[in-house]
């Protein structure tokens, strides 16, 4: 199995001034590429020849017998997280429909959801990700260390579910522009979050996971 770097369907400078072109370029072509290269190398070395999507690999990670499970977890997780994240970035979208309704139901209001997302992002210590997760008809905000994500078994991460949207909390995602101003980076996310993509993700699971 070989994984490949997905193309981003917008220019590296498309998210300026909120995320600068240099950060996007390095993040995509260096960081994301490295996670893919490492994943491919581990699968080859461990002779794991499963021809499956990265999502399926992550869901079955806890069953894979490997001498490099943590390394595989970090790198395969990195590949999925970044692939998912690039699709979730676009300037000037708004939330509507079922996702808006369910965010209001679970967090009282969109503004309150944003505040809680910012708070939990700030509380996360060290490298990791913050996700909006859908599980058993409920939305929740959860942070994950390193390159963990909600697709991985809860025996690995403590909480699994369907990822709806996410933000990269690693310093490499913002340091060139924001330096130590992590909150400014997190709050800038509301200008570039692609709600259209988040709504597509949510619709995929809303009816099947509602009960
Ligand atoms: Mn990253």
**Residue 186 token pair:** 């997190």
Average pLDDT (61-88) is 95
Average pLDDT (182-199) is 98
Peptide bond into 114 cis (omega under 30): no
CA pair distance 75, 35, nearest whole angstrom: 5
Ligand 1 midpoint to CA 171 (Å):
8
Ligand 1 midpoint to CA 93 (Å):
22
Q: Which residues pair with 168 in a beta bridge?
A: 129
Average pLDDT (191-206) is 97
The pTM assigned to this predicted structure is 0.97
- Residue 142 has φ and ψ, to the nearest 5°, of -135, 140
Average pLDDT (119-140) is 97
Is the alpha carbon torsion for 5, 7, 12, 14 positive or negative? negative
Residue that has been written with the tokens 């949510």 in this structure? 202
- Which regions of 85-161 does DSSP assign to beta strands (E)? 128-135, 138-145
Average pLDDT (78-101) is 98
Ligand 1 midpoint to CA 77 (Å):
11
CA distances from 187 to 79, 87, 183 (A): 24, 19, 6
Using the predicted structure, report yes or no on whether residue 48 has a pLDDT greater than 70. yes
pLDDT in tens, 34-44: 999 999 999 99
With contact defined as beta carbons under 8 Å apart, do 16 and 25 qualify?
A: no
Work out the pLDDT band at 211, boundaries 50, 70, 90. low
Ligand 1 midpoint to CA 82 (Å):
6
Average pLDDT (199-209) is 94
Give the H or E element holding residue 168. strand 162-168
- Rounded to 10 deg, the angle between the 69-87 and 33-45 helix axes is 140
Ligand 1 midpoint to CA 23 (Å):
10
Residue among 48, 93, 85 nearest 66 (CA): 48
Average pLDDT (175-187) is 98
pLDDT score for 128: 98
């Amino acid at each position: 199995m070989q994984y490949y770097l997905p193309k981003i369907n917008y220019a590296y400078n498309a998210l300026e001034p909120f995320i600068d072109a240099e950060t996007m370029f390095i993040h995509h072509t260096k960081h994301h590429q490295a996670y893919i290269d490492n994943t491919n190398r581990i699968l080859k070395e461990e002779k794991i020849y499963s021809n499956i999507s990265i999502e399926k690999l992550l869901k079955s990670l806890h069953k894979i017998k490997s001498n490099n499970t943590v390394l595989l977890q970090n790198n395969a997780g990195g590949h999925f997280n970044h692939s998912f994240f690039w699709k979730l970035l676009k300037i000037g979208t708004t939330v509507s429909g079922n996702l808006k309704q369910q965010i209001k139901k679970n967090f009282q209001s969109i503004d309150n959801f944003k505040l809680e997302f910012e708070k939990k992002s700030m509380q996360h210590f060290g490298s990791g990700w913050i996700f909006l997760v859908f599980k058993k008809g409920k939305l929740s905000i959860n942070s994950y260390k390193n390159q963990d994500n909600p697709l991985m078994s809860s025996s690995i991460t403590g909480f699994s579910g369907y990822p709806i949207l996410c933000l990269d909390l690693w310093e490499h995602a913002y340091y060139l522009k924001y330096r130590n101003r992590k909150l400014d980076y997190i709050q800038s996310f509301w200008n570039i979050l692609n709600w259209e993509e988040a709504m597509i993700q949510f619709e995929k699971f809303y009816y099947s996971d509602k009960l």
